[in-house]
Amino acid sequence: MSANRRYTFDTNILFYASDNAAGEKHGKAIALTDSAIAHDCVLLLQSLGELSNSALKRRAKWADQLREIIQAYRRSFPIVASSEADLEQALLLHQQHNVPFWDAMLWATARRAGCTLLLSEDLQDGQTLGGVAIRNPFAPGFDLDAL
């Protein structure tokens, strides 16, 4: 990984890192989040919100642990919130590239935060939008250090 490359994670990576039942994806997500602490990685408030919503809906047993999980992420990474300008950029991206709105909002906030890499299982692997490369960390042959 380039020392100057700032990046972030989509919600699914945070979810897998927190879910012991996620099998192989859990191990990969843990490795990604653990190694990110030593790199220029930020987390987006939207991702933490989506993680919270998803965890409370799908994993009721997490309710007691969720605050601790979120606090651990907050202690480990800078958190970036969306802005009004991100909303405008997300709407444009959605209109021009048909990216689902909440993914577009994540992209817009990541871009404004200076991220040149967004790790996501949901977006098109290998695509670059507005200087932000999208990579699926669960794709065969993925190597963060090679990026």
Separation of first and last alpha carbons in the chain: 5
Q: What is the full per-residue pLDDT of the chain (147 aa) written as tens digits?
A: 555 789 999 999 999 998 888 999 999 999 999 999 989 999 999 999 999 998 888 766 777 788 899 999 999 999 999 999 999 999 999 999 999 999 999 999 999 999 999 999 988 999 999 999 999 999 998 988 877
Residue environment code for 64-98, b if the CB has 16+ CB neighbours within 10 A, otherwise e: eebeebbeebeeebeebebeeebeebbeebbeeee
pLDDT at 19: 86
3-state secondary structure of 90: helix
* Fold observed for domain 7-137: Rossmann fold (3.40.50)
Pairing between β-strand 117-119 and β-strand 79-80 as defined by DSSP bridges: unpaired
pLDDT at 2: 57
Domain positions in the chain are: 7-137
Single pTM value for the model: 0.91
